[in-house]
Amino acid sequence: MCFMLMSVNDLMNLSKASPDEVISYGPHSQQFGHLYLPKVQNSSPLALVVLIHGGCWRNRVNLDYFGQAARALTALGVAVWSIEYRRLDDGGGWPNTFSDVALAADKVNELAQSYALDLTRVMAMGHSAGGHLAHWLAARTKLNPGQELYRAAPLRLKGFISIAGIPDLAEAIKKNICQEAPLALMGALKSELPERYTQGSPADMGSLSLKQVFIQGIQDSIVPLTYIEAYVDARRLAGDIIDLIKIDQCGHFEPVIATTRAWQEVEKALIAVLS
């Protein structure tokens, strides 16, 4: 059977979905997020998804493409906080990209006071480079005072979903995933500055006890399935419980487009994490 995979241009040409609120979490022009709320709400506090877009940590792609997915998630009765952050072409890289994502996530504690969010049902979900950052948000609770990326009282998550994510930055550099971007993000190789990797690359941050889901297109040519399988196998041997959902006839972009069959798998996984 012949089929055509979606491209980054298809992603960038998606119709934009307007958020309910645009909220800053810092003074920089890229330190803001889009808040999406269900059209119909009951009296119970809302579960929340911290949504993080991809684009190889670069400026070519922004959070707009994730709007259609965020709006689809609100139909499930959850709120979505889709965040922007500084990327490599606009003041990002080490440590600013990480600190922005941390600030944006911790903003949820403040948002909960105005929008009736349930802080016991918060998860992160990211795509590609955003998958790395969603995974990192879950792992940063392991950081200690004195480490550069440490923040006191970080937002606690029920789990995360990494869609075509990049969990092992050192291995991503070896495999030329996103070309030179992982190296530019970290500012050095692991052999040169290993401490950065113990703070910023989830593969070097140890085991996690929360819910972990990786969703991967079998035909993904940007983040190869074999790279994700190797990471998941290694973490399972270390004792982590991880779900790996592999989708056939699916590349790098189909799982984040709400009209695709692959997106249905994302929604099922999200409901399971929040349950």
The whole-number average pLDDT for the span 47-66 is 97
- pLDDT attached to residue 43: 77
> What is the spatial distance between Cα 208 and Cα 203, in angstroms, rounded to a whole number?
11
Percent above pLDDT 90 for the chain? 96
> From the centroid of its chain, how far is CA 26?
20
Q: Are 24 and 84 in contact (CB under 8 A)?
A: no
The whole-number average pLDDT for the span 32-44 is 90
Is 88's pLDDT higher than 90?
Answer: yes
Is 42's pLDDT higher than 90?
Answer: no
Give the strands of the sheet with 79-83, arranged side by side: 21-24, 32-36, 79-83, 46-52, 117-127, 159-163, 211-217, 242-247
The whole-number average pLDDT for the span 184-198 is 98
Is 41's pLDDT higher than 80?
Answer: no
Question: Average pLDDT of the chain?
Answer: 96
- pLDDT attached to residue 227: 98
- Single out the residue of 193, 195, 194, 188 nearest to residue 173, CA to CA: 188
- pLDDT attached to residue 178: 97
pTM exceeds cut of 0.75: yes
Query: Tokens 């952050």 correspond to what residue?
Result: 85
Residue 158's contacts (CB-CB under 8 Å, 6 or more residues apart) are 120, 121, 122, 123, 210, 211, 273, 274
Q: Are 106 and 155 in contact (CB under 8 A)?
A: yes
Report H helices in the chain: 8-12, 67-74, 96-106, 108-115, 129-139, 169-174, 181-186, 194-200, 225-237, 261-274
- pLDDT attached to residue 117: 97
For residue 236, what are the CA distances in angstroms to 126, 131, 231?
A: 21, 19, 9
- pLDDT attached to residue 182: 98
The whole-number average pLDDT for the span 64-81 is 97
Could you tell me the pLDDT band of residue 1, with boundaries at 50, 70 and 90? Answer: very low
- pLDDT attached to residue 3: 66
> What is the spatial distance between Cα 222 and Cα 95, in angstroms, rounded to a whole number?
25
**For the purposes of burial, counting CB atoms within 10 Å of the CB of 234, is it exposed (0-12), middle (13-18) or buried (19 or more)?**
middle
Is 73's pLDDT higher than 60?
Answer: yes
Could you tell me the pLDDT band of residue 238, with boundaries at 50, 70 and 90? Answer: very high
The whole-number average pLDDT for the span 38-60 is 93
- pLDDT attached to residue 2: 45
- pLDDT attached to residue 261: 95
